[in-house]
Amino acid sequence: MGRRVLLPSSEALQAKAADAAMDFGGVPVALPLIRMTPEPACTSTLKRLKEFDWLVVTSSSSVHMLWRLVREAGVDIRHLPRILTAGPGTTEAFTSYGIVPDVTPPRNFGAEGVLETVRQSVAPGAVLLRLRSQLAGPDLAHALAEAGYRVEDCVLYRNDLIRPARIPAFDAVFFASASAVEAFMELRPADTLEGKIVVAMGGATLAALERHGLRHARTPPEATVASALSTLAAAIVEGELEKLS
């Protein structure tokens, strides 16, 4: 309905989010606030992929960075371990490269759900490679190790803040990650979002908004860009219908 949809996500998600916004008749407003910078130290780990039984990947950005780095390092992807993802968004990112992950949690897409799924699907003592950004932290890797798995924790990339000269006018905003929320809040106070339609993809993103006092954000039924923008479009339509009632 011609609403300006702010997209403060990383560059990896910008094109997909913009396409989804336009599909619903919105005007995408690109505002990448996060630059994904690869960690050179992880290249040697990726060259040893065949030594691992499973990859544990919990974000679509990690998938895109993984693919960038394995191409640059000349890694033979025929030796990929089995893959466990944290939800439909991460799974969708893998399938965009022609890779179908082996396992994903059926519902809880946070660390708890990943840990439960690993216990159900992965043999005790298996060798796991946990791939993440620096912001994700080592807690999941520690929990997997305590559960009896041999875990190597690999930081693929850093999320570096981009500081734009200004934030353009917008009617709605789509946050794809907690790091995007934190980056936005470093630039503008939370009350900037009052009166705006806000959609948060995933529980961690919603929790980040709530920590800043924002309680009216919506979450999509699936942690995917398409589902998030569909939820945002539905919220706009609902608002218009309420005005008519």
Please choose, from the candidates 3, 61, 12, 11, the residue with its C-alpha nearest in 3D space to the C-alpha of residue 31: 11
Buried b (16+ CB within 10 A) or exposed e, 56-76: bbbbbbbbbbbbebbeeeebe
* Residue pLDDT, tens place only, 14-45: 888 999 999 999 999 999 988 889 998 899 99
Q: Which two tokens stand for residue 193?
A: 């979002």
CATH hierarchy code of domain 36-159: 3.40.50.10090
* CATH code of the domain made up of 4-33+163-244: 3.40.50.10090
Q: Residue 175 — pLDDT band, cuts 50, 70, 90?
A: very high
> 183 and 8 in contact (C-beta within 8 Å)?
yes
Range(s) within the chain of domains with CATH label 3.40.50.10090: 4-33+163-244, 36-159
Structure-token match 């980056």, residue found: 183
CB 152 within 8 A of CB 52: yes
Return the pLDDT at 16.
Answer: 87
For 184-201, the pLDDT digits (tens) are: 998 888 889 999 999 998
